[in-house]
Structure formats: structure tokens, C-alpha cells
Chains A and B, each alone.
Chain A
């Protein structure tokens, strides 16, 4: 849009300005996590000099353990859910992409429709199903709900990647005497590593950040995830921004680290040798 030769300074300047304005809300959280509570309202945008860890220590040593228990629950639920989802949707995506049966095509369409279903639409009956199974207000129940709800997304990603794996590869392995399971785990699944990385990243972030489903499924009594913990924390001390911001900072840190670590892997998976020997 702009004449680059005469205004070469304009683009970086505008880009930087827009970026800084966009980032301001996050900046406010970051500086105030390390500021004494009393200094936040009179000087919200100032740098925390000298920085204090009082807010973070207060969150970690809460007498109700809202953060520490929440963290353990979040890690358990997210890790279990995405591990099961990766395995289950790789198997299902592979089967549906390879099968020529009409029933498989129908199953695929039904699964993809699931991508559109908002969680609130099915939440009340989901609690009925969980109660029937005796899994309401349990972490296992939440994991199973996550698996059912997010499996369409996993299948969508995996089936796309399976189509890029030559069918001949599987047939060759079968001719060599490998069984179905062995062909899948030793030949196909390693080739799907980029898809696995995407599934782990996307679903890891979504499940960690999920609010409504854990709020309802885990219920008010039996502990919660860190994301629901943020919501509980603001209910308790609305005006103490330092404590709330520190809680959010700590609740976000693990998933941000996970995202940044896997994102690199994701790029490597796309470009590096997924096939060995």
C-alpha cells in the first residue's frame, strides 16, 4: 500500500506501534505480578522496581491450596487427555482415511459434524452420562469427556496426514509379514509425527485453558483445574490485583512453556526426517 522506497521507515514504525498498543494489556499483567499490591492502583504501568516475589509466594502458599492442587489436576487431566487423544485419533483417523466402506465415510461425516457442536449444548446430558458411569466429579470422567469431545479434531488432522503416506508402504510391510497393529505402530504412526505434534499442541492448549467443562464436570467440591482456579480466585479477592495477576501468571506459565517447546518440535517434525533407515 505504501511506496516502500520513499517511506521505508514507515512500515516498521507503524508495525511496532500497533504491536506495542496490542501488547499493553499483557504488559500490565507482567509488571504488576512483581509489584507490591499497594503500588498497583496508583501506578499500574510503571516498572516494578525493585521487583518483589511477594505476590507469587502468596499464591504458592495459599492455605486452601487452590493453585497447587489445581496445578496437579490440570497437569494430570491435560497430559492424560492429549496422550489418549493422540493414540485414539491416530488409529481412528488412519482407519477412516484408508477404509473404502460406505460406513467409514458416514462415520467420517458424523465425526466432522462434531467440530461444530458447542460444549454448552451437550453439557447437561454429559453430566447424566457421567453420573450413570459413576464418574461425575472425577478427573477420569473429565479426561473421558475431553477424549470424546476433541476426537473429531484429532481425526481431521490425522486423516489428512494419512492420505499423504503412500498405501504401498503399508502393503509392503504386510507382505513382509507384519500384522495390522505392527504396521500401524512401526510404519504409519512414526510418519504421522507432524500430525501428532499438532494434535498435542492444539489440544494441550485448549484442554488446559478449558473453563466451562471442568467447572461443571469437576463441580464445586472436589478441587478444580488452574484455569477454573483463576475464576475462583477473582471471586475471593476482587481488588487485590497483585494476587490475581500472580495467580494468572503462574497458571499460564506451564502451558506457555509447553507450547513454545513443542512448537519448535512441530517445525522440526515437518522438515526433519520422520523416516528412519
Chain B
């Protein structure tokens, strides 16, 4: 930053304060051409975004109103029939519920765990810096790799159950094979991967809490719990916003873990999520029209929840 200041000081005064500002009218007449050339800078990015995000969004919206299936032409316009079918589709409703459960668990657990661990590690010595690296490592790894690791641990004859049997548990649970448990195992795996992200964001937030503020509260007789609730926690509001929105988006789009570990099972869709259903319907079932309606609903859910949560949390930031 110091360098930028230095540069500013060496910069000549602005043109409008300069005697040469009389040249300005001629400058202005060149403005449209200049703007046109500047817009060329914006073009490649906008073009790629348009071609591979905006156009596909439009196509998804359009396909969702058709019975499009590349192996079963012709494609006909069917109005809102796909959406009507979704409302009565037990597989989709199950996937919607599973996604909400995963998202809720991940958002709460990773936030709470991240905050506790960040508080624990909020010291500047080498031990804590090294531990920060340990917690952050899974964030840098592929969720495919993490899924395979946890599959080796949680599978029926996996490392965890071998350990449980060794200490005398005769019938350990089927972490991934019991339809009542598998969904929670998936949520746990995503939480484990995202925990380090929350730790780092909360640590950054904690470093922004002035020591004097905590000390002042302490002198005024506030205990550790009150100090946390009334001084530290309000100052962590921006960190909470970042983490919550990031976790919501991660939870809602959960796909990799399900594809790699359970393939939607056990049983009928015990761990299938919305993203999993969309991909299955589109690329295995080839029902592009129907999968597009699913995708549209999924996008609507993600956007609505994210925007509402973001609004609420940001208002909270301002109030404090």
C-alpha cells in the first residue's frame, strides 16, 4: 500500500486542474470511439459467460416446457406438464428433502465447528499455525478424493467398523449401507471437507476484533461468556455471512460424494440429492425436458434461499 501512495504522489495533477484542460472539448468528441475500444476489453469474458452460462440457462428454461429426449423425437411443447409431474414425483421430492437435510446439517455443523476450532487456534505460535494448515488441507483436495477416503473408512468392513469390532462392538452400524444412516454420513463427509474453510474465515474475523475492546469489557466485569456474546460474536458477523452463504451453496449442489460413494442408494434414493437427480435424469434417462424442469426448480430454491439468507445476515451486520 505504501508503494501505491508513493506513486500517487508522483502522479501529475488531474487534467481538469491543469491549464491544459482547455483541450478537453476535443477529448470529449473522441469519447464514443474510446468507449467502444474499451468495451472490446469486456467482450471475451461476456461472450464466454453468455455462451456457456446465460444461453444454457435460457435453454434450460425452454427445455423444461418440452418433452425433449434426444432418443425419442420429435420434441413437443408441453407447457407446465413437467412441473406438474415433479410435484407428484416421490423420487424428486425425496431428493429435495435429502438436499435440505444435508444443507442444514452442513451449514450448522461446519459453522459451529469452525467457530470453536478458530477460537481454539486463535494464537500466533507455530503449533497453531501448523494446525491451521491441517484443517485447511481438505479444502484444497478434490471431493472425489475425500469421498474415496471416507468410503474406505465407513464402508461395512471398513476401517471404522474393524476398529469398533476390535473394541468389542459385535454389530457396528452400516454407515453407508443403512438407508437411515447413509444420508447423515454424507453430510458428515461434506462437513469435514468444509470445516477448514470456516476455520480460516473465522480466524480472519477474530483477528479483526481489537484486543482493547475485549480488555475493556473484561475491566467492566464481563465474564468470558458475556465477552464472547457481546464483543466477539457481533464482530464476527461478516465471517458468519461468508461461511453461511458458502455452505448453503455447497450443500445445495452436493453431487460428487453421492456419485462416488453411494450412487444415490442404499435402497431407493436414500442419499439422492437434487443435483444427483438432475444429472441422472438428463444423462442416464435422457429425459432432458423433465431434467430441465428439475434443474429450474433447483436453481429457484438455491437462489431464493441464498438471497434471503444473505439479506438477513447483511442486515444483521449493519445493525451491529
A-to-B contact residues, CB < 8 Å: 1-2, 11-12, 14-16, 18-19, 22-23, 25-26, 28-29, 41, 44-45, 88-89, 91-92, 94-96, 98-99, 104, 107, 110-111, 113-114, 116-126, 128-129, 144-145, 147-149, 151-152, 154-155, 164-166, 168-169, 171-172, 175, 180, 184, 191, 205, 208-209, 211-212, 216, 227-228, 230-231, 234, 241, 244-245, 248, 251-252, 255-256, 259, 273-275
| B134 pairs with A22, CB closer than 8 A | yes
| A1 pairs with B49, CB closer than 8 A | no
**Is B46 an interface position by the 8 A CB rule?**
yes
Closest partner residue, chain B, to A124 (CB atom): B282
Which of B3, B41, B253, B292 has the most chain A CB within a 10 Å cutoff?
A: B41
- B residues 8-25 with Cβ under 8 Å of A? 8, 11-12, 14-15
Which of A113, A118, A152 has the most chain B CB within a 10 Å cutoff?
A: A118
Known: A129-B56, A172-B11, A216-B283. A180 touches B42 (CB 8 A): no
**Is B219 an interface position by the 8 A CB rule?**
no
* Chain A residues whose CB sits within 8 angstroms of the CB of B143 once the complex forms: 209, 211
**Is B105 an interface position by the 8 A CB rule?**
no
**Is B28 an interface position by the 8 A CB rule?**
no
CB distance from A189 to the nearest CB of B (A): 11
Known: A91-B42, A125-B60, A168-B11. A252 touches B260 (CB 8 A): no
* Chain A residues whose CB sits within 8 angstroms of the CB of B117 once the complex forms: 18
| B49 pairs with A152, CB closer than 8 A | yes
| A227 pairs with B137, CB closer than 8 A | no
B-to-A contact residues, CB < 8 Å: 3-4, 6-8, 11-12, 14-15, 34, 37-39, 41-42, 44-46, 48-57, 59-60, 63, 117, 119-121, 123, 127-128, 131, 134-135, 137-138, 140-145, 148-153, 159, 162, 192, 195, 224-225, 228, 249, 252-253, 255-256, 259-260, 275, 278-279, 282-283, 288, 291-292, 295-296, 298-299, 302-303, 306
| B56 pairs with A126, CB closer than 8 A | yes
Complex CA–CA separation, A94 to B39 (angstroms) = 10
| B282 pairs with A123, CB closer than 8 A | yes
Closest partner residue, chain B, to A241 (CB atom): B152
Q: A168-B8, A275-B4 known; 7 other A-B pairs, CB under 8 Å? A: A25-B149, A26-B137, A120-B279, A121-B60, A126-B52, A166-B8, A211-B144
| B142 pairs with A19, CB closer than 8 A | no
* Chain B residues whose CB sits within 8 angstroms of the CB of A245 once the complex forms: 152
* Chain B residues whose CB sits within 8 angstroms of the CB of A45 once the complex forms: 159
B135 partner, pick from A22, A25, A191, A256, beta carbons under 8 A: A22
Complex CA–CA separation, A172 to B47 (angstroms) = 31
Complex CA–CA separation, A145 to B34 (angstroms) = 31
| A169 pairs with B7, CB closer than 8 A | yes
CB distance from B285 to the nearest CB of A (A): 11
B120 partner, pick from A14, A44, A165, beta carbons under 8 A: A14
Complex CA–CA separation, A227 to B48 (angstroms) = 24
* Chain B residues whose CB sits within 8 angstroms of the CB of A126 once the complex forms: 52, 56
Closest partner residue, chain A, to B128 (CB atom): A15
CB distance from B139 to the nearest CB of A (A): 8
* Chain A residues whose CB sits within 8 angstroms of the CB of B275 once the complex forms: 118, 120
| B131 pairs with A252, CB closer than 8 A | no
B3 partner, pick from A99, A122, A273, beta carbons under 8 A: A273
| A94 pairs with B15, CB closer than 8 A | no
* Chain B residues whose CB sits within 8 angstroms of the CB of A121 once the complex forms: 57, 60, 278, 295-296, 298-299
